[in-house]
Structure 1
């Protein structure tokens, strides 16, 4: 099936989150997406910048929360304030995706929306745009859902996996996509190692594309209880009643991810039956999910790093030290006889852990909340 020649495309940026994995630099009011962790621009600024060849700033939808909306508005001055939506309650990704689809369907149900996390890294912007153009074609050609799968490089247990099925040629200038057989959320190490060796599994990048009507229909089939309150919110969009209806209806919907609500329910109906297709996220994707991941990112993509130490400081001395990540701006850092540490300093906190434990930094935040240290959260 050939896609329409003129396709409306709207990027939807998911920018909620409480900022626990990059504590102490990230906090509720300055979560990972509004920090400059990789380069001079913040993560959300980089996300918008790489999508600009595909859409005007005025068409973007950003879904965030009250704590981050003002900062995001300042960082994205060309995105209209009315298109930066403030969730009145945290409800995971499924309600946010459906809300975006319902709002866009009011003007054009065939609009293709792309769901993009606001805090991921892409190294090859040109390849990213090429893959998105292909994904838009597939999404516009029918009741199709498109996912972007990153080639796995290790048996990672912190990512979801996509099992690819048969290859399908698509488009007037043919490119290859794979029918999706199933999704698996964060497997144990044994399964992750099996997936890596199988050769037909990719990491779920969290980037999805579909038409507004396709997504609404999928919710009608698999998560119908969410439809009425979200459609009511969308009906109020652009009216004086929007904030009130949003605040009344949104907290009533289920707290569930788009993966569980739609993708896992719709997949594995037999080859090609689910209408879910996977394109390769072969553009240097990284979700920077921990301090250790940021360390690895710097090692792979910044030259002249000695002894695998990544140090962000005014100056550094490295003596018999290797594999460390240190963030201590304005200080001289001396590393002596230490290995695989993560040390992060801010004005009011100091984190010292190992790279192996960096995925568990959220435990620190939970303890701070438990002890009512809310000023540090």
Structure 2
């Protein structure tokens, strides 16, 4: 069987302030109404049943991934069924691919993995699927790792490159030419990129790979023997009660290494397919110049924007009006709690902004004022030393986890809808303008039994108000952990 593997562990730094650590760019809707992740999954479904799509995510992104994909059509089981595989730690790309290969080998010894990122744009989709089918058929018959190489459209210093070697005859499997890979090249300087563009022997490295699980694990044995030993120890636990602990142990000991450094740059069985498709790696705001519509002066405008005598700029407005006069070559992005202003040439320094915010422990690096959860969403209205005020919206027939806090008390006031509140051994109904106090260490839960959204104002008081001060006892969304990861809320 063929299995689609989507790598969705991004940290969200280059698209700040639209993206945050808890809401990275794969959740953004940069083209159309659907998120990049949603588009990637949809792109695969004509070739892969939902049950054979795996999405590799970090612990902080599990809930948002499920919410983002909730509008997908249900699989053959009648349920939303892409497998969301939660990584206990971030260990780059090789460990999760080793893990996925071990699981797929266990259930499907001849299984083929088709690996791609969650944040790429690819068209036309019919041609992409034809190339993916060719790749799968090719690796079924050959002990190789097949990469998707993209013929360069320009001298690009932001991508890695693949140097083509001798051609490979793939016979009846398709029309796209394949080649042995001579070497992988990291992001080059401008003169080198210009030489690559002219010589026609180099392709952009798209980061998409296709291989059989058994072949990939054998390459890990050759070139990463320590990692292979960890995989072998994990394999014997798959499907047993000790599987979850074994995965945690695997991630604790696995090296932090990319698949390119760990395998691709060493392996002698890598082929590349020259893939004539429109492929875009949406790496930073500059990518919007390629994928977005422009006005008559070359601007990309979205939201509440008035641009007068402004040229070649990217301007994202939100609730406030953003008005520009006489600007050129700028990027302006406004959100509820942060505004970015940069020249296009300096966008690589956005990471420095995020790093400084993290160093100062600013919440703007972590999350938006409005944060989505499986049961609804909340918006931070105000906060200061020892207090935080939220507007919490609970969807009809949804409820938060049964939980308690060690460091804060809460006061809830209903402003819309009806709430059913569990407080230790009591259960009460609250209507508009009614309130309740939640003391520290009290077990509590709120449920919306009505047909309209329930809205409450929540006032938190305490010496520690971060989102990891939650101990869950029951949860409808399987978020009970032995240790609650930071960023899991309500």
Same fold (TM over 0.5): yes
Distance 2:213 2:110 in 1: 6
Contact 2:338 2:364 in 1 (8 A): no
Higher relative contact order (CA 8 A, sep 6+): 1
Does residue 154 of structure 1 match 2:168? no
**Structure 1 residues 192, 110: closer, same or farther in 2, change over 3 A?**
same
Q: Which of these residues, 38, 41, 48, is aligned with residue 55 of structure 1?
A: 48
1:260 positional shift: 0.6
More strand by share: 2
1:82 positional shift: 8.6
> What do residues 76-135 of structure 1 show as CA deviations (whole Å, max 9, x unaligned)?
245867921111111000111111111111122221101110111112111110110111
1:174 positional shift: 5.0
More helix by share: 1
**Higher mean C-alpha displacement, 180-189 vs 210-219:** 180-189
Q: Aligned to 1:74, what secondary structure does the other structure show?
A: helix
Does residue 293 of structure 1 match 2:287? yes
1:38 positional shift: 1.6
Determine the structure 2 residue equivalent to 1:3: none
Determine the structure 1 residue equivalent to 2:300: 310
Q: Which of these residues, 274, 277, 283, is aligned with residue 277 of structure 2?
A: 283
1:375 positional shift: 4.2
Contact 2:51 2:82 in 1 (8 A): no
Distance 2:235 2:197 in 1: 41
Does residue 228 of structure 1 match 2:217? no
> What do residues 63-87 of structure 1 show as CA deviations (whole Å, max 9, x unaligned)?
1111101111122245867921111
1:194 positional shift: 1.5
1:282 positional shift: 2.3
**Structure 1 residues 231, 305: closer, same or farther in 2, change over 3 A?**
farther
Determine the structure 1 residue equivalent to 2:187: 186
Q: Aligned to 1:265, what secondary structure does the other structure show?
A: coil
Q: Which of these residues, 70, 74, 87, is aligned with residue 67 of structure 2?
A: 74
Does residue 165 of structure 1 match 2:159? no
Determine the structure 2 residue equivalent to 1:135: 135
Determine the structure 2 residue equivalent to 1:13: 6
Distance 2:58 2:239 in 1: 18
1:173 positional shift: 5.4
**Structure 1 residues 290, 61: closer, same or farther in 2, change over 3 A?**
same
Q: Aligned to 1:306, what secondary structure does the other structure show?
A: coil
Contact 1:95 1:230 in 2 (8 A): no
Runs of 4+ deviating beyond 4 Å = 78-82
Distance 1:236 1:110 in 2: 20
Distance 1:280 1:39 in 2: 28
Q: Which of these residues, 270, 294, 311, is aligned with residue 322 of structure 1?
A: 311
Alpha-carbon RMSD across the aligned residues, in angstroms, is 1.8
Distance 1:247 1:228 in 2: 15
**Higher mean C-alpha displacement, 77-86 vs 305-314:** 77-86
**Pairing 1:114-125 to 2, within 5 Å after superposition:** 114-125=114-125
TM (norm. structure 1) is: 0.90
Contact 2:196 2:202 in 1 (8 A): yes
TM (norm. structure 2) is: 0.70
Contact 1:124 1:283 in 2 (8 A): yes
Does residue 31 of structure 1 match 2:21? no
Contact 1:222 1:265 in 2 (8 A): yes
Does residue 145 of structure 1 match 2:139? no
